[in-house]
Structure 1
Amino acid sequence: MNTVDLRQAIVMRVQNNTAQELTEVIEDSVGADEQTLPGLGVLFEMIWQHSSEPEQNRMVDSLYKHLHHSEHANPSQ
């Protein structure tokens, strides 16, 4: 019997989605119950791994700015 790890299960769940469906998955997950965080993490990991260094730097810069310009760094904002 093959076991599927969490990453594989998440990828299998969305791999045949259209771009619009992927957008909906992300939008429905952002700010939702914490159960969706692992899925977003896997999707972000895929984005990160397939991004160029300038794209990664832009993402880190955006995150840094959010964390340091927000009084309480509320992740749901």
Structure 2
Amino acid sequence: MNLNLRNAVITNVTGNSQSELQDTIVDAIQSGEEKMLPGLGVLFEVIWQNASQDEQQEMLTTLEQGLKK
């Protein structure tokens, strides 16, 4: 069986409201389940691809700050 994870995730959330998208993200993070990580990765890919260079830089700065110990 050939499952395209990207398409499945995108199909699952296409047409969702911001509130529904937020619920999806928060639920995935709070569940702590490893199986949710690929889906979050697909959502991040969509964000990254649709962000300006300034927005991408802001995300990188936020990520760098969040990973400092």
Same fold (TM over 0.5): yes
Q: In structure 1, list runs of 5 or more residues that go unmatched.
A: 71-77
Which segments of structure 1 move beyond 6 Å, counting only runs of 4 or more? none
> How far off its partner does 1:16 sit?
2.2
* Structure 1 equivalent of residue 61 of structure 2: 61
Distance 1:4 1:52 in 2: 31
* Structure 2 equivalent of residue 52 of structure 1: 52
> How far off its partner does 1:4 sit?
4.9
Larger radius of gyration: 1
Aligned length: 67
Residue type of the alignment partner of 1:36: M
Residue type of the alignment partner of 1:28: D
Query: Aligned ranges for residues 1-77 of structure 1 at < 5 Å?
Result: 4-31=3-30, 32-68=32-68, 70=69
> How far off its partner does 1:35 sit?
0.6
Residue type of the alignment partner of 1:34: E
Structure with the largest fraction of helix: 2
Q: In structure 2, list runs of 5 or more residues that go unmatched.
A: none
- Aligned identity (percent) is 42
Structure with larger RCO (C-alpha < 8 A, sep 6+): 2
TM-score (norm 2): 0.88
